[in-house]
Amino acid sequence: MIGDQRTGKTNLLSKYTTDTFSSNYDHTIGVEFASKIFEVDAKKIKLQFWDTSGSASFRSISSSYCRGAGGVVIVYDVTNLESFASVERWLGGVKDVVCPKMLLGNKCDLILDRKVTALQGEGLAQKHNVFFLETSALDS
């Protein structure tokens, strides 16, 4: 997962892998790793997730962390226009990484604070030919 700081990448990962959510912000330094094992058609599958720092200095090396990945999720905060504007730069950093990519708008639970519409997110995803989804790490 890549995207600006404070977009909720760590909480998305925690919610999916351990069903936990923290309202305290703790800046990710470098990269954090988590995995989840589940069964599909009686086969065990292990998903491995890399939660990357959202700092600007990390953006330039994000493609090296994404090489060999089965997918890249670019996360933005629907209440933060700057994080949405940064999506273009994050996508540019992984344009040479050959794998499915998804644009994920997070924090949809903050309805009154929303600044980025689902239509805007969909439009950007279509422009770059990537999947699109909105969610809330808190409510999902």
Per-residue model confidence (pLDDT) at position 40: 84
CATH number of residue 74's parent domain: 3.40.50.300
Helix-then-strand count for the chain, H and E:
6, 5
In a domain, 100, yes or no: yes
**Long-range own/partner contacts, residues 45-52 (CB < 8 A, 24 or more apart):** 49/1, 49/13, 49/16, 49/17, 50/1, 51/1, 51/9, 51/10, 51/13, 52/1, 52/2, 52/9, 52/28
In a domain, 21, yes or no: yes
In a domain, 86, yes or no: yes
Q: What is the mean pLDDT of each run of 10 residues along the chain (140 residues)?
A: 86 75 63 74 78 58 64 94 95 87 96 98 98 90
The residue segments making up the domain with residue 27 are 9-134
Per-residue model confidence (pLDDT) at position 123: 98
Q: For the chain, how many residues are written? A: 140
Give the count of domains, the chain: 1
In a domain, 140, yes or no: no
In a domain, 38, yes or no: yes
CB 12 within 8 A of CB 3: no
Residue-wise pLDDT tens digits, 37-55: 878 898 887 777 766 665 5
